[in-house]
Amino acid sequence: MLIPIGTEVRLRRRPAGNYALMLLNILIFLYTDVVGGAAAQHQKALWTLYAAVPDLGQYITYQFLHGDWLHLLGNMLFLWIFGNAVCDRMGSICYLLFYLAGGVFAGVVFAAVSNNGLLGASGSIAAVTTAFLVLYPRVRITMLLWFFVITALQVPAVVVIVFKIILWDNVLAPRLESGIVSNVAYSAHLGGYAFGFCVGLSMLALRALPRNQFDLLAVWNRWQRRAGLPGSGGAMPQGRPVRVQEMASRPLEPLVLSPAERLREEALERLAARDLGGAADRYLELRRMDAHQALPREAQLEVANYLAQAQRHGEAADAYEAFLAAYRAAPDAPQVQLLLGLIYSRYLGEWGRAAEHLRSALGRLVQAGQRELAEAELRQVAAHLPGEGLDS
């Protein structure tokens, strides 16, 4: 079983609109299914969308109803993971309108192919999920793998959303279970996915949402330019040869990047060219500009490792700290904490910070050799901290 549990997206502001939606869903569930009694159950029946004879108000109200605790918790998990990032990008008011519109469209699609009742936030959350894909296609999603062993792994958003959530969960798996009666409204899910993708992409194209070099349109535009496809600004005209001078006279129009975005892009380009020193310099300049910045997970770790190997211990410690701040749930976070503990202890003499990271690493490390190293180093650190021992 694969369950999404987090993303790499760092929020710029508190997503109040998404918090409000989550709270409203929970409160309505508590009223209709826990404390409201028979009157609340009657109200729930009135708010459910009946596709055979739909009431206009039901296209809104059905979005806040749930069948049971598992239904609610599953939807709130997805809303937390994807909704916070989308709300941060859209702003609360725009996000709330988008969420409700996605649910209405999902309900319309369901009513067009079914005569049954419909309740749940899944259609709205499906719209939010594909909007996340449009806005953050290169982000990695942390997945909990539960199959004989329990572990976490990070997978690109496009793989998780397109292949796992949309194709497998809503297209292929239902066909494999064709003989099993299911109460899942797959058509509403697919309607929500289509709405979120199309509307999200349109909002980017019309500049209704702020653009950056990481959104789907920017990724697509860069791919077009590299491939020389028509309409990309770098394509060769058909019907006659093109001289080098002609191509040079029509330069590609660059994306407008902020100074921080430019430095991030340059650091990633240097890493791709294996210029680790240049990538580290761009990264450090980025950190001086904005102390909250971090590169994508693997790039951040690669820069930190380079700084450590170059014996730039203070800068390496800061880069590892930035990695932990951005990717605390990453599978290699315990090893990073062990490295940080060693750097603080052996090179920087910051015994308190060393002890903090070593103790935290001990609680999460699995390999015996790494645990022994952390314990041995912690004993050395404890000698510099009066009144503290290994188990403090």
Compute the average pLDDT of residues 97-114.
Answer: 95
SS3 181: coil
Are 189 and 316 contained in the same domain? no
Range with lowest mean pLDDT among 57-66, 115-124, 138-147, 331-340 = 138-147
> What percentage of the chain exceeds 90 in pLDDT?
51
One-letter identity of residue 107: G
Tell me the chain's radius of gyration from C-alpha atoms: 25
Distance CA 59, CA 107 (A): 6
pLDDT 10s digits, 335-352: 999 999 999 999 999 999
Residue 50: domain span: 2-175+185-205
Mean of pLDDT over the chain: 85
Whether the CB-CB separation of 18 and 121 falls below 8 Å is answered with: no
Are 318 and 351 contained in the same domain? no
- pLDDT, residue 194, reads 96
- pLDDT, residue 235, reads 44
Are 197 and 68 contained in the same domain? yes
253 pLDDT more than 60 = no
Q: Which of 290, 309, 327 is the last residue of a domain?
A: 327
Are 140 and 58 contained in the same domain? yes
Determine, yes or no, domain membership for 215.
Answer: no
180 pLDDT more than 70 = no
What is the number of other CB atoms lying within 10 angstroms of the CB of residue 345? 21
What is the number of other CB atoms lying within 10 angstroms of the CB of residue 258? 12
Query: How does DSSP classify residue 274?
Result: T
pLDDT band, residue 182 (cuts 50/70/90): low
244 pLDDT more than 50 = no
Number of domains the chain is built from: 3
Compute the average pLDDT of residues 32-44.
Answer: 93
pLDDT band, residue 242 (cuts 50/70/90): very low
CA atoms within 13 A on the CB side of 366: 5
Are 192 and 304 contained in the same domain? no
Determine, yes or no, domain membership for 242.
Answer: no
- pLDDT, residue 238, reads 45
Residue position matching structure tokens 């009144």: 387
Distance CA 342, CA 375 (A): 11
pTM of structure? 0.63
Distance CA 49, CA 64 (A): 11
Determine, yes or no, domain membership for 239.
Answer: no
